[in-house]
C-alpha cells in the first residue's frame, strides 16, 4: 500500500500499537504525526521514525489540546487524510469495587477523546471531501469482559461512534471504521496477571498472541484506497478469539 502525499495522525503513538501503526504509515510513504500525552516519549518516537514524522503533544481529553494539534498539523501539511484514534488506557477491577474516578478516566480518554479528535478531523476532512478515520476498539467492546466494565463500555461506545460518524460523514467522502484487537503483546497487556494472559491465550484459535504489526496491517488496509467502499465496519484482529 502506498501512502505517498498522505498525512496520517495517530493518537497515543509514542509507544505500543500506535507507534507501530505510525511507523507503518511512514514506511508506506506518509507524513506522520506522532501525538501522545507523554511529550518526551512522543518526541523520541518521532525522531526514531525520522523522515516526515513530527511530534505533537496532546492530551485527547482536552479540547484545547486537540484544537492546537489540528492547527499544527494543517499549518505544516495543509491537509489531514488519515486519523487513527488509538490513545487508550485500562483501569481494571470488578464493577462492584470500581471507583467512579476509574470509570470517568477510562471513558474520558478512550471515548470522549475519540469524539473530540473525530470532531476536529471531520471539519477538515469534509471540506477536503476525503478522509479515513480508523478507531482502535477491542474485542471486549463486542463481548464484554469481567473486570473491565469501564474499558469494555468505552470500546463498545467507540463502535457506536464509528457507525454514527460513518453515517454522518459518508456523503463527503470520509470513511470511518474500527478494528477490534484481541490479545496483543504490548506494555498494556504486560501488566496483566499470568492467569488472565493464559485465559485469553486459551481462546485464541491461531494459538499465539497478536503483535502490534498484526493490528497495523489491518489499520493500513482500512485507511487505504483499496478500502474505499468499506465504512462503518468493525474488523476483529484477534486470531479467532471471537469465534471460540
Question: Minimum distance from CB of 93 to ligand NAD (Å)?
Answer: 16
Angle between the N-to-C axes of helices 149-169 and 113-128, in degrees from 0 to 180, rounded to the nearest 10: 10
Please confirm, yes or no, whether 151 is among the known catalytic residues. yes
Q: Is 183 in the site for ligand NAD (CB under 6 A)?
A: yes
Read off φ and ψ for residue 239, nearest 5 degrees: 60, 20
Contact with ligand NAD (CB under 6 A) among 52, 107, 142, 188: 188
Distance CA 144, CA 157 (A): 12
Distance CA 236, CA 61 (A): 26
Q: Is 131 in the site for ligand NAD (CB under 6 A)?
A: no
Q: Is 88 in the site for ligand NAD (CB under 6 A)?
A: yes
Name which of 169 and 236 has its Cβ closer to ligand NAD. 236
The kind and range of the H/E element at 162 are helix 149-169
Question: Minimum distance from CB of 158 to ligand NAD (Å)?
Answer: 8
User: Considering only CA atoms, which of 61, 66, 36 is closest in space to residue 49?
Assistant: 36
Q: Which stretch binds ligand NAD (CB under 6 A): 47-55, 93-101, 180-188, 226-234?
A: 180-188
Give the dihedral sign, CA 220/226/230/235.
negative
Name which of 119 and 127 has its Cβ closer to ligand NAD. 119
Positions in the binding site for ligand NAD (CB under 6 A): 11-12, 14-18, 36-38, 59-61, 86-89, 109, 113, 136, 138, 181, 183-184, 186-189
Active site residues: 151
Amino acid at each position: 500500500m502506498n501512502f505517498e502525499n498522505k498525512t496520517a495522525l495517530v493518537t497515543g503513538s509514542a509507544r505500543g500499537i500506535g507507534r507501530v501503526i505510525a511507523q507503518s504509515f511512514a514506511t508506506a510513504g506518509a507524513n506522520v504525526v506522532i501525538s501522545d500525552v507523554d511529550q518526551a516519549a512522543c518526541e523520541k518516537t518521532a525522531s526514531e521514525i525520522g523522515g516526515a514524522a513530527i511530534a505533537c503533544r496532546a492530551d485527547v481529553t482536552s479540547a484545547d489540546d486537540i484544537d492546537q494539534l489540528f492547527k499544527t498539523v494543517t499549518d505544516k501539511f495543509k491537509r489531514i487524510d488519515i486519523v487513527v484514534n488509538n490513545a487508550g488506557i485500562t483501569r481494571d477491577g470488578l464493577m462492584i469495587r470500581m471507583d467512579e474516578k476509574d470509570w470517568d478516566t477510562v471513558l474520558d480518554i478512550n471515548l470522549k477523546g475519540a469524539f473530540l479528535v473525530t470532531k476536529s478531523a471531520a471539519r477538515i476532512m469534509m471540506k477536503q471531501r476525503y478522509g479515513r478515520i480508523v478507531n482502535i476498539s477491542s474485542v471486549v467492546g463486542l463481548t464484554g469482559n469481567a473486570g473491565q466494565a469501564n474499558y469494555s463500555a468505552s470500546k463498545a461506545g467507540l463502535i457506536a461512534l464509528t457507525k454514527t460518524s460513518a453515517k454522518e460523514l459518508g456523503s463527503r467522502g470520509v470513511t470511518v471504521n474500527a478494528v477490534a484487537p484481541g490479545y496483543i503483546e504490548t506494555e498494556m497487556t504486560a501488566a496483566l496477571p499470568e492467569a488472565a494472559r493464559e485465559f485469553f491465550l486459551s481462546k485464541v484459535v491461531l494459538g499465539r498472541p497478536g503483535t502490534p504489526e498484526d493490528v497495523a496491517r489491518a489499520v493500513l488496509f482500512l485507511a487505504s484506497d483499496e478500502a474505499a467502499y468499506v465504512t462503518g465496519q468493525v474488523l476483529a484482529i484477534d486470531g479467532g478469539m471471537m469465534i471460540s
